[in-house]
């Protein structure tokens, strides 16, 4: 069942000027309830414009965005309610922190939805737990936190609104490898616990490969692929032609397969690769 759909979605910047440019053109996709969808594309592919149309931050030049089958712009005065249901976490969201304490910052969204202080605090504390923010951090100023903690606080502020769809635009940008792994694990845990829909926009094929159920590939403003993640990454040559690549471990496994090693060329994680390679090398050793 689709929670979000687009029909012939198009957006043009600078309409009627010499600088008119089509950023997204005739995109028709269906996003399933409860799925974890990865979104990839090189700079200028249209992915950022697309996700901003999905929650009403940008109004399409033409076409439709349907939320539960209803055009989100059918009643423009109610577009704010759409943004509560389709939550957006922008790249470097920590720059939007502003309240006196972390707890107040995370409560800001739920209070804007009309919840009481008690209800908003309960939502905020639950969201903080999802993102791994320790209790002692909640009464601190957001500006006293580390970079990773600020990122988790900003994401918690969106999660606290309990959106049906959570869109994350490069949530691990600028984090060290450990911070990236921790944050991705927390997002995956949140998705599993809430069974909502998550869209993850990322330049990291490794991050996408280990989290997304399906993958949307944007290029030149068009949706050029939308399929299971393994199937998309099995089309490595096509991805390379549009300036993208497969995860490094996938590339290695594809090379091994071309050399006759009986492995899955669509392997997405190191753990999965090890499960295949260890028995293979054991058999080779036994045959010596």
User: How far is 164 from 243, CA to CA, in rounded Å?
Assistant: 32
The parent domain of residue 258 ranges over 247-288
pLDDT at 130: 87
In a domain, 121, yes or no: no
pLDDT one-digit tens code per residue, 69-80: 999 999 999 999
Nearest of 160, 230, 214 to residue 4 by alpha carbon: 214
- Do the beta carbons of residue 253 and residue 245 sit within 8 Å? no
Residue 250 three-state SS = helix
The segments of the chain whose pLDDT lies below 70 read 284-288
Nearest of 57, 161, 162, 55 to residue 109 by alpha carbon: 161
In a domain, 184, yes or no: no
In a domain, 94, yes or no: no
Question: CB-hemisphere CA count at 13 Å for 5?
Answer: 10
User: How far is 76 from 166, CA to CA, in rounded Å?
Assistant: 21
In a domain, 284, yes or no: yes
User: How far is 88 from 100, CA to CA, in rounded Å?
Assistant: 22
In a domain, 107, yes or no: no
In a domain, 174, yes or no: no
pLDDT at 286: 62
In a domain, 278, yes or no: yes
pLDDT at 288: 60
What is the tally of structural domains in the chain? 1
User: How far is 235 from 222, CA to CA, in rounded Å?
Assistant: 17
- Model pTM score: 0.89
pLDDT at 242: 92
Alpha-helical segments (H) within the chain: 47-54, 79-85, 102-112, 117-130, 147-159, 177-194, 205-211, 229-233, 236-241, 248-258, 270-286
In a domain, 260, yes or no: yes
pLDDT at 287: 58
pLDDT at 58: 95
User: How far is 67 from 180, CA to CA, in rounded Å?
Assistant: 31
Say how many C-beta atoms besides its own lie within 10 A of residue 212's C-beta: 23
pLDDT at 284: 63
pLDDT at 147: 82
């Amino acid at each position: 069942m689709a929670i979000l759909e687009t029909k012939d979605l198009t957006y043009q910047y600078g309409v009627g000027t010499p600088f008119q440019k089509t950023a997204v053109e005739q995109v028709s996709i269906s996003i399933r309830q409860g799925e974890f969808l990865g979104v990839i594309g090189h700079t200028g592919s249209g992915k950022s414009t697309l996700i901003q149309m999905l929650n009403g931050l940008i109004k399409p030049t033409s076409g439709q965005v349907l939320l539960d089958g209803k055009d989100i712009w059918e009643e423009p005065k109610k577009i704010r309610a759409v943004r509560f249901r389709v939550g957006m976490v922008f790249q470097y969201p920590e720059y939007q922190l502003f309240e006196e304490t972390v707890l107040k910052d995370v409560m800001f969204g739920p209070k804007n939805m009309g919840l009481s202080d008690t209800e908003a605090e309960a939502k905020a504390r639950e969201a903080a737990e999802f993102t791994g923010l320790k209790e002692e951090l909640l009464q601190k100023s957001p500006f006293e936190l580390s970079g990773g903690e600020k990122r988790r606080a900003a994401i918690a502020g969106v999660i606290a609104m309990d959106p049906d769809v959570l869109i994350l635009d490069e949530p691990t940008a600028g984090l060290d490898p450990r911070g990236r792994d921790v944050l991705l694990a927390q997002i995956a845990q949140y998705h599993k616990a809430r069974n909502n829909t998550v869209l993850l926009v990322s330049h990291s094929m490794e991050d996408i490969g280990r989290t997304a159920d399906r993958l949307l590939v944007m290029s030149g403003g068009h949706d050029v692929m939308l399929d299971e993640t393994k199937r998309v990454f099995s089309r490595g040559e096509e991805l390379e032609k549009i300036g993208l690549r497969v995860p490094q471990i996938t590339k290695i496994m594809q090379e091994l397969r071309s050399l006759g090693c009986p492995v899955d060329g669509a392997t997405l994680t190191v753990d999965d690769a090890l499960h295949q390679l260890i028995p293979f090398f054991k058999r080779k050793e036994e045959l010596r």
